[in-house]
């Protein structure tokens, strides 16, 4: 782990050296370790350590970006020179947003000494629990247990300086039986909060109950989606809909619909990088302090997430959702919450006459971004519900479903939530009971 004083010294030296009209410099450092297992034994341990440097140089209304994997003084200087050289070959950007000004940000840090210092031997002890229990049932377990420590600091010629550290840990497993599988996963800032026995029990229970799956006809069913599946819905909302850039370009369902009801009145979705139960991130990659954004409020399209560029277009302030310099994706919500309800999963089950219980989705892809139609498959625990009870496992099903339509048909929301980390964000989600879900095909497994 780098000392903050050394990072600050490097940033100050870089800014002092730069001859650009405006300069932004970011330093990233990460230490990560991973234990992989398959067939009930550990087959790989990996440890990585790296440092990254990113420079944004503004010359007039032109921007150049350069990067390196070292923060030695000669590398700092050559990277700044390269960024300035690149800027000189760029066309003017008449809509160029100014760099972020200094603003106070939260002191919240998502850091755990226990996570930072967790050893391969520690991970192996946890992995052994799952492997032993799976072996006892003649199942095979595979998965990974990882822990990481990261640092980020950003400074610019406007006088901004921001620094943060972060740890997180992930334990995931798929347990395979003769003709069915189960899944479980946990994320945490403090690795001590991950209980391997709980992960093993959840995955093994699904595997036991998934054996000898039956065939069912595709069609429209009521579904109970566990938290893992609901997280996939939030991920596509983040990717397709909640960015101010997507709204400005007219490719989000939110475009032109702010103030309208677009989901069920029981649905509220917000992004909060400092919210309870997520991995606290006090500022974004542009150095702007994190701000809570209520995206969907009681079913109504309420707001989008902004970075400096999209905010500048509308004469607004960034909401602290900027990505790294050079990204063209636009702002992204990275700490999404779906508001919990007051129903347990057991109560959802008891109230379902005929439906499907879904553990998680797999290989989901966009069909139509404006309607949020997505296609994908169920995986690792799909069950038939009749008269309030799970009566049989079923072979996995393919669906083509509008996630937006689904969120207009939510009959019940779980009272408990779970933290997951997907393509774009840490998501805090409850389970959902949805009245209509369109399964379009069946599989052989």
Mean pLDDT to the nearest integer, 407-426: 92
DSSP letter at 285?
Answer: T
Residues 140 and 219 in one domain: no
Residue 207 falls inside a structural domain: no
Statement: residue 436 has pLDDT above 70? yes
User: What was the pLDDT predicted at 84?
Assistant: 98
Residues 336 and 411 in one domain: yes
User: What was the pLDDT predicted at 1?
Assistant: 83
Query: Are the beta carbons of 8 and 161 closer than 8 angstroms?
Result: yes
CB atoms near residue 384 (< 10 Å): 18
Nearest to 238 by CA among 403, 101, 116, 355: 403
Q: pLDDT band for position 109 (50/70/90)?
A: confident
Residues 328 and 273 in one domain: yes
Residue 203 falls inside a structural domain: no
User: What was the pLDDT predicted at 422?
Assistant: 76
Q: What is the pLDDT of residues 33-72, one digit of tens each?
A: 999 999 999 999 999 999 999 999 999 999 999 999 999 9
How far apart are the C-alpha atoms of 118 and 104, rounded to whole Å?
32
Place of tokens 């919210």: 275
How many structural domains does the chain have?
2
Lowest-pLDDT range of 69-83, 223-237, 410-424: 410-424
Residue 205 falls inside a structural domain: no
Q: Which of 136, 171, 198 is the last residue of a domain?
A: 198
Contact residues for 125 (Cβ-Cβ < 8 A; gap 6+)? none
Residues 171 and 279 in one domain: no
User: What was the pLDDT predicted at 199?
Assistant: 98
Residues 105 and 174 in one domain: yes
Mean pLDDT to the nearest integer, 413-420: 97
Q: Whole-structure pTM over 0.85, yes or no?
A: yes
Range of the domain at 389: 213-445
Residues 282 and 312 in one domain: yes
Residue 378 falls inside a structural domain: yes
The residues pairing with 224 across neighbouring beta strands, listed in sequence order, are 357, 433
Q: What is the pLDDT of residues 113-154, one digit of tens each?
A: 999 999 999 999 999 999 999 999 999 999 999 999 999 999
How far apart are the C-alpha atoms of 168 and 282, rounded to whole Å?
15
Statement: residue 191 has pLDDT above 70? yes
Residues 302 and 163 in one domain: no
Residue 208 falls inside a structural domain: no
Query: Are the beta carbons of 57 and 192 closer than 8 angstroms?
Result: no
Residues 286 and 433 in one domain: yes
Q: Which of 140, 165, 198 is the last residue of a domain?
A: 198
Residue 154 falls inside a structural domain: yes
Q: Which of 149, 172, 198 is the last residue of a domain?
A: 198
How far apart are the C-alpha atoms of 73 and 79, rounded to whole Å?
10
Residue 307 falls inside a structural domain: yes
Residues 263 and 155 in one domain: no
Residues 175 and 227 in one domain: no
Contact residues for 264 (Cβ-Cβ < 8 A; gap 6+)? 299, 407, 408, 409, 410
User: What was the pLDDT predicted at 187?
Assistant: 96
Residue 63 falls inside a structural domain: yes
CATH number at residue 139: 3.30.2290.10
Residues 194 and 225 in one domain: no
Q: pLDDT band for position 423 (50/70/90)?
A: low
Residues 162 and 232 in one domain: no
DSSP assignment of 241-269 equals TSBHHHHHTT-STTTT-TTSB-S-TT--E
Torsion from C-alpha of 250, 253, 256, 262, nearest 10 degrees: 180
Task: Give the SS3 label for residue 74.
Answer: helix
Angle at the Cα of 366 (from 352 to 319), degrees rounded to 5?
Answer: 95
**Backbone angles phi and psi of 60, in degrees to 5:** 65, -120
User: What was the pLDDT predicted at 203?
Assistant: 98
């Amino acid at each position: 782990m780098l000392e903050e004083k050394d990072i600050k010294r490097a940033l100050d030296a870089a800014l002092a050296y730069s001859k650009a009209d405006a300069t932004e410099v970011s330093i990233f450092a990460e230490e990560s370790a991973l234990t992989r297992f398959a067939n009930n034994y550990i087959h790989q341990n990996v440890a990585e350590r790296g440092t990254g440097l990113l420079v944004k140089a503004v010359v007039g209304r032109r921007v150049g970006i350069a990067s390196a994997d070292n923060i030695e003084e000669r590398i700092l200087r050559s990277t700044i020179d390269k960024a300035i050289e690149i800027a000189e070959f760029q066309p003017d950007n008449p809509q160029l947003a100014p760099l972020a000004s200094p603003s106070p940000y939260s002191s919240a840090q998502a850091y755990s000494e226990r996570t930072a210092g967790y050893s391969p031997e520690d991970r192996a002890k946890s992995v052994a629990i799952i492997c032993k229990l799976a072996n006892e049932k003649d199942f095979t377990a595979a998965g990974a247990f990882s822990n990481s420590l990261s640092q980020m600091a950003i400074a610019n010629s406007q006088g901004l300086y921001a620094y943060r550290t972060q740890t997180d840990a992930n334990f995931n497993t798929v347990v395979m039986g003769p003709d069915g599988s189960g899944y479980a996963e946990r994320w945490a800032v403090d690795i001590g909060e991950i209980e391997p026995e709980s992960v093993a029990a959840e995955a093994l229970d699904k595997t036991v109950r998934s054996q000898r799956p039956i065939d069912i006809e595709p069609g429209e069913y009521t579904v109970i989606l566990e938290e893992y599946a609901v997280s996939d819905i939030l991920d596509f909302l983040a990717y397709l809909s909640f960015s101010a850039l997507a709204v400005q370009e007219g490719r989000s369902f939110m475009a032109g619909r702010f103030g309208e009801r677009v989901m069920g009145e029981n649905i509220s979705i917000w992004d909060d990088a400092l919210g309870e139960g997520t991995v606290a991130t006090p500022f974004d990659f542009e150095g702007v302090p994190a701000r809570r954004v209520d995206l969907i409020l009681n079913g109504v399209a309420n707001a989008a997430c902004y970075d400096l560029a999209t905010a500048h277009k509308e004469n607004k302030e960034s909401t602290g959702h900027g990505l790294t310099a050079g990204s063209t994706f636009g702002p992204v919500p990275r700490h999404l919450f779906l508001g919990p309800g007051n129903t347990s999963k057991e109560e959802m089950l008891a109230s379902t006459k005929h439906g499907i219980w879904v553990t998680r989705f797999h290989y989901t892809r966009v069909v139509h971004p404006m309607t949020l139609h997505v296609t994908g498959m169920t995986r690792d625990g799909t069950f038939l519900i009749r008269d309030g009870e799970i009566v049989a496992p079923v072979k996995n099903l393919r669906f083509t479903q509008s996630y937006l339509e689904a969120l207009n048909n939510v009959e019940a929301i779980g009272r408990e939530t779970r933290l997951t980390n997907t393509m774009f964000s840490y998501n805090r989600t409850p389970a959902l009971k949805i009245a209509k879900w369109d399964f379009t095909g069946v599989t052989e497994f």
